[in-house]
Structure 1
Amino acid sequence: MAVTRSPLPQFLRLSKTSSLSQRLMLIGLVITVFFILIALLAPLLQSIGLLQNPTESLSNPIHVPPSEKYWFGTSRQGYDVFSRTLFGAQAALQVVILATSLSMLVGVPLGMVSGYVGGRWDKALLFLMDSIYTIPGLLLSVTLAFIVGRGILNAAIAISIAYIPQYYRVVRNHTVSVKTEVFVEAAQAIGANTWQVLSKYLFFNVIQSVPVLFTLNAADAILVLGGLGFLGLGLPPEVPEWGHDLKLALQALPTGIWWTALFPGLAMTLMVVGLSLFGEGLNEIINPRLRQQR
């Protein structure tokens, strides 16, 4: 019996979408690419002398307002706020990519296997993931950060655990519905094993919502990382990070040093908005029902 594979998944097809969703996704993409370029170019700019060392105290007196020499001013510790804001994008990008990738690499395979195999394995995993999902993400990340300690990899692990159930639930539900399709039953009839069915006939048909989850989780991971940094649980103090800088800035606000909070907070907000806009625009393209409702 010849096996006919399903057509390309919905998110790989060219589709007509509203101009609003196109604009949202384009704006979000531009903002996201802008921060990616900042993260990549910050070390290069420092090496050629166009950017100050973010961990070196420069100013005397200790804090200086924004000026031609220090565009974003300096903090009470004497750090260049402009340099720390740019290097903060690098730290955020590293943690976000690691956290969302780890959660995706764990949640997607578990969801596929659980939905396809079923039985006790499926019930046990579903119970475990639902239990994790009921815990607020920030609270879970804070608890895990206490256990694993500081550092880029440790922060990524602490954040990623909260997102695994989302990938698992979405992929599992798609797998349960797709595994009864004719092309899957035909593959089983000719003797395809579980790995072949999962990799060749199910994978591209159940991951259509994963890109949207990835971008939205990345936006949320930036806020969670900022929360960990604000609580002193994220990255080491010597690493420029927006949440940690906001913690120090909060202590300086009563003395009128407003610039140390404005620029890191604005950078965090813009990056979250960019990823969110891109994810929402992508979601409307992937899900035709959203376009129909609009």
Structure 2
Amino acid sequence: MTSTKLKLRLPRFLRFSGRPSLSMQLMAVGVVITLFFVLVAILAPTFESWGWLQDPTESLSNPILEPPGARYWFGTSRQGYDVFSRTLFGSQAALQVVILATSLSLIIGVPLGLVSGYLGGKLDRVLLFLMDTIYTLPGLLLSVTLAFVVGRGVLNAAIALSISYVPQYYRVVRNHTASVKSELFIEAAQAMGASTKRVLSRYLFFNVIQSVPVLFTLNAADAILILGGLGFLGLGLPEETAEWGHDLRQALDALPTGIWWTALFPGLGMTLMVVGLSLVGEGLSELINSREHR
């Protein structure tokens, strides 16, 4: 009898000759951390419906300030909340806002960069001036200002965050487009009568978005910190929402009295999620750079 061996073939850009570099190993750690928080955000409502988690927006029936223990794993807060439940649901709020914010900025910034870099002229100068102006403003300050204007809520917080990231996508895509549009294959497509829309969508788009995944993950990590800052300042999401920044603000007054757990666990959640996304972004950056130099 003959036996057959099944071989798993990885995509070419994921194949390594020899041992993966330290950045690739750290990227794998980042992927695990990020996926963990994604699973927590998805499964938290299910666990609550099964009675495994307390409602993060309601005080306990007998609110007692307790340290972490067998009854309440992460302890309880002065407001009578289960810290474990609010920490888990905090990942859901963070992911909702961050995915919306980074997606909105990508959807706006990439097309503007393509059109601006390809067409040039007055449109390019106006957009470049506008994006450079936005880019010079600190992200947190701009988000705080916009949060006052648009108000609270998941979508409003995402809009407030996304504005500061649009120039980053615009600048990267615009610069790549301006350099690639003089290549022979673009000139050949133009000579054959390809429309501007066809050139942008078929010939330019996939050649200028290599850095977009890196930007997406790094902006997501930054957005978590800014969202936490908005929550700490009492902006962003509604007061009753389980959100790490808001919980840190509530825990601030309790720290001098030795109640450390109400700040520790939301802070750890925010830190780990930022570290995970940052490691993924750095790993993707090295992966893309290594492919370009092959």
Q: TM over 0.5, yes or no?
A: yes
TM-superposed CA distance for 1:62, in Å, is 3.4
Amino acid corresponding to residue 87 of structure 1 in structure 2:
F
Amino acid corresponding to residue 269 of structure 1 in structure 2:
T
TM-superposed CA distance for 1:26, in Å, is 0.2
Q: Aligned partners of 1:283 and 1:28: how far apart in 2?
A: 13
Give yes or no for the alignment of 1:245 onto 2:247.
yes
Q: Aligned partners of 1:46 and 1:100: how far apart in 2?
A: 28
> Which aligned pairs between 1:128-277 and structure 2 lie closer than 5 A?
128-277=130-279
Contact 2:63 2:81 in 1 (8 A): no
Contact 1:212 1:280 in 2 (8 A): yes
Worse-superposed segment, 12-21 or 90-99: 12-21
Q: Aligned partners of 1:209 and 1:226: how far apart in 2?
A: 26
Worse-superposed segment, 17-26 or 223-232: 17-26
TM-superposed CA distance for 1:290, in Å, is 9.8
TM-superposed CA distance for 1:19, in Å, is 2.1
What residue number does 2:56 align with? Answer: 54
TM-superposed CA distance for 1:24, in Å, is 1.1
> Which aligned pairs between 1:66-77 and structure 2 lie closer than 5 A?
66-77=68-79
> Which aligned pairs between 1:37-116 and structure 2 lie closer than 5 A?
37-58=39-60, 60=62, 62-116=64-118
Contact 1:63 1:75 in 2 (8 A): yes
User: CA RMSD of the aligned region, Å?
Assistant: 1.7
Paired residues, what number? 282
Amino acid corresponding to residue 180 of structure 1 in structure 2:
S
Contact 2:228 2:246 in 1 (8 A): yes
Q: Aligned partners of 1:65 and 1:101: how far apart in 2?
A: 39
Q: Aligned partners of 2:26 and 2:292: how far apart in 1?
A: 14
Listed one character per residue, the Cα deviations across residues 204-227 of structure 1 (whole Å, up to 9, x for unaligned) are: 000000000000000000000000
Q: Structure 1 segments of 4 or more deviating over 6 A?
A: 289-292
Contact 1:92 1:222 in 2 (8 A): yes
Contact 2:57 2:242 in 1 (8 A): yes
Q: Aligned partners of 2:293 and 2:249: how far apart in 1?
A: 42
Worse-superposed segment, 223-232 or 18-27: 18-27
TM-superposed CA distance for 1:255, in Å, is 1.6
Q: Aligned partners of 1:205 and 1:15: how far apart in 2?
A: 21
- TM-score of the pair, normalised by structure 1: 0.93
Going from structure 1 to structure 2, the CA distance change for 1:290 and 1:59 (only over 3 Å counts) comes to: farther
Going from structure 1 to structure 2, the CA distance change for 1:167 and 1:39 (only over 3 Å counts) comes to: same
Amino acid corresponding to residue 177 of structure 1 in structure 2:
S
Contact 2:66 2:75 in 1 (8 A): yes
- TM-score of the pair, normalised by structure 2: 0.93
TM-superposed CA distance for 1:61, in Å, is 5.1
Worse-superposed segment, 60-69 or 249-258: 60-69
Identical aligned residues as a percent: 76
Structure 1 unmatched ranges of 5 or more: 1-10
What residue number does 1:3 align with? Answer: none
Structure 2 unmatched ranges of 5 or more: 1-10
Q: Aligned partners of 1:290 and 1:186: how far apart in 2?
A: 23
Q: Aligned partners of 1:289 and 1:108: how far apart in 2?
A: 22
Q: Aligned partners of 1:59 and 1:260: how far apart in 2?
A: 19
SS in 1 for 2:253: helix
What residue number does 1:29 align with? Answer: 31
Amino acid corresponding to residue 257 of structure 2 in structure 1:
T
SS in 2 for 1:287: helix
Going from structure 1 to structure 2, the CA distance change for 1:290 and 1:73 (only over 3 Å counts) comes to: farther
